[in-house]
Amino acid sequence: MHPVLSTALIRIAAREGCEPVELPPLYATIDPEAVTTVLESNAAVTVCFEYCGYRIVAAADALEVTALEETGSAG
């Protein structure tokens, strides 16, 4: 798993007051291996997805984790 994805899980777990292993499996939402391949592709890419009530925007060297209610999204 790409370090950016691991960091996203750590941030979400901290906000939820739990350990990262207590969160639902990330692979139920995205394919972590495919995202890792994209982020390590040397292309200027950004991956955006929703997971566990949060919007995650990830690039090889950047990460934004925002609660969906903070973004005004439902869902």
pLDDT values of the chain reduced to their tens digit, one per residue, 75 residues: 889 999 999 999 999 999 999 999 999 999 999 999 999 998 899 999 999 999 999 998 899 999 998 755 444
What is the rounded CA–CA span in Å between residue 37 and residue 40?
5
pTM score: 0.85
Q: Which two tokens stand for residue 17?
A: 């007051």
- DSSP, collapsed to helix, strand or coil, labels residue 66 as strand
CA 75, 61, 40, 46 torsion: positive or negative? positive
Residue 23, judged by CB atoms within 10 A of its CB (0-12, 13-18, 19+), counts as: middle
